[in-house]
A and B are shown apart, each in its own frame.
Chain A
């Protein structure tokens, strides 16, 4: 059995979990800080661009179904080996940074919401151990676990939305585009680091099993994920109004508005814990991709678990020990937006072309 092989259905569910996984933590308050109550519009624009890129990537998957080339092979054959290395290095930085931001948000959430303050390393080590265990077991195991927990996570998210329903004042979302369309669009771009969750697909390109269509399940999954994220932003602003930028843990703060919770114990924390599983799944997927980046950068095939590669990823995860997350984010937005946009938004558009070129070259060699 190929331990990294997944079916399109599994990939679609995993993608939905990933879309929900990271955007419900600090992002809503950051966006509210940038564009006020129009944050949901900013999210919507980001998703429009994500949707376009995803379609191109899915097209590339369709072309690649028979040849089963991985990202490294596609870039090697269609561009050149040095360029491939550059792309892989950028990917590695993105995955490591995004994992760091995710973990840092979770860390903050545990200390703020659950009153559990601990050392960064003590917090990261168990999560990293889980992620590396999953890497050793293969991407298929992660996808299957996502499938197993999907219903439960979706229920938890629904419960978190429903509990404060009566307190929502959607009138606060008006007037629409008060911040100005230009600023809303610019925010979509500057906060793009949180989006384009489809980038993990690059690293499982060679293992996607397509039976019928690749488009339908993935696009449904994308649409549901996008809808939930836009809804969360709208709900968040509808609940907190102009105070929204001050409540940085959106998901955990939303539950505060449920009267039932305060009388009968904070049951919303339990649903929150279930939802957190999706964040950890996202961490697992990103660490898997970072590990694969190293594998492809050194040009080796780690059949068994490679401790050196794991050590490199783990060292990168200790970055917040030296630099604060805010500093890290500022630097990323300042310097990283352009190279990151290259692989997040430009590469997907070129993927069908690059895959076709690589496929033709491979076929020419065989002929």
Chain B
């Protein structure tokens, strides 16, 4: 396939980092590269030095054979592929007849593999994904030493041409799901993909606007664990977050360290997370509606305490609770955006000064502040969905405050119907609870010891259910 050097030159000439060297090796060769994307030492070692000592060559094919020091030497099939290689840091060598070869001279820029700040564990591997797709694939392949690990490479984004790798285990992942996901990624029409979260939106089949439908992890051991259950891992160049699909709601309850701890402890901590989430969303609403409409439910002594504490408050219980929740959300949002040192001070200012001062000044009642804080802390047991749960908490509280228990029941049921109706890639979002899949409950909220998990989950489509064969 001929690639017009003239066309290529016209496209790139004038760029500050564009480098062109003309070399005479028996035939006239032109080597081009982008200075900013190439490693000078590699250009020298894999291109210039071999060409300098090559002697007389008859054709570019002969040159290609003699560039033995370069690990990645190939013939790009067209101008598009040549441009892609060029922008990725390859050096292109053209001859007079517009034949072209590309030599891998990419520079390695990026951070080294380290423990991801969002998924720290007490026990277990501490390696985390980085921004380089190649390193990330290495981290996966290091754990999956099998020829069945398949990687499909794609380029997505009109201008960014971002490298995307779809990884799966052949014989475990269902081929129809693989084809569906690859097709979806190939059909993405966008100018740029700067992070894996961009692609997550395209992989969300049911276009949900509330809950995430695509998992993400920064840890290769987690990604491999999910692939062993039949999921696919999607690595996007420039992002340390690797996407996993299909995705279940219960995955939000699972923490990276769960598989390295005693299964009884894991069951206990997962149950706590589960209860925390329910309490976080419903407690403020129940507090408000019980106080406003159904105070008879509250035990008398507790009721007296609550009434004493909120007697002088100038707001209605609903307004008071909404204020507490909104202030908590503001503090959380500000805390996330502050440098860590300032963040700690801000938390203290928020918790002690704002909360205590508001109670002292008689603007907010201590029970409301306590319930707001308890609910807010509970949300962080499900860190990936904190924001959406926080929003739901506000909505349920508002409806509960306006309509009482009826409102709480109706809004909770609406959320459940919504969750129960979600199903992407043949995977019901609430599995293994709705629909009930008893075999899969071995690793949902409760966890059986790892040696007893002999079957892969049925909730995730897979081609081989037996983990032992």
Interface of A with B (CB < 8 Å)? Answer: 1, 3, 7, 9-10, 110, 114-116, 123, 126-127, 129-130, 133-134, 137-138, 140-142, 144-145, 147-149, 263-267, 269-270, 273, 276-277, 280
Contact = CB atoms under 8 A, between A and B. Distances in A.
A265 B434 contact: no
A126 B406 contact: yes
B113 interface: no
B414 A133 contact: yes
A149 B416 contact: yes
A269 B404 contact: no
A133 B303 CA distance: 37
Interface of B: 293-294, 296-300, 302-303, 403-410, 413-414, 416-418, 420-421, 423, 426, 428, 430, 433-436
B297 A133 contact: no
B432 to A, nearest CB: 11
A116 B404 contact: yes
A137 B407 contact: no
Contacts of B293: 114-116
B468 to A, nearest CB: 25
Contacts of B408: 273
Contacts of A280: 409-410, 413
Contact of B421 (A3, A110, A114, A266): A3
7 contacts: A130-B410, A141-B418, A147-B433, A148-B420, A265-B298, A269-B297, A273-B409
Interface pairs A-B: 7 shortest CB-CB: A137-B421, A141-B421, A144-B434, A144-B420, A265-B299, A148-B434, A141-B420
Given A144-B434, A263-B299, 15 more contacts: A116-B406, A127-B410, A129-B414, A130-B413, A137-B420, A141-B421, A144-B435, A145-B417, A145-B420, A147-B436, A148-B416, A265-B300, A265-B302, A266-B294, A273-B405
B291 to A, nearest CB: 13
A277 B436 CA distance: 19
Contacts of B406: 110, 116, 123, 126-127
Given A140-B421, A145-B417, A265-B297, A114 B405 contact: yes
B416 A10 contact: no
B410 A147 contact: no
DSSP majority for the A interface? helix
A138 B303 CA distance: 42
Contact of B430 (A114, A115, A144, A270): A144
A263 to B, nearest CB: 8
Contacts of B294: 114-116, 266, 269
Contacts of B296: 115, 265-266, 269
Contact of A133 (B299, B417, B434, B436): B417
A207 B429 CA distance: 20
Contacts of B413: 130, 145, 277, 280
Nearest to A127: B410
Contacts of B430: 144, 148
Nearest to B416: A145
Nearest to A122: B403
A251 to B, nearest CB: 14
A263 B303 CA distance: 12
B416 to A, nearest CB: 5
A283 B266 CA distance: 39
B417 A265 contact: no
Contacts of B404: 110, 114, 116
A148 B430 CA distance: 9
A270 B297 contact: yes
Contacts of B417: 130, 133-134, 137, 141-142, 145
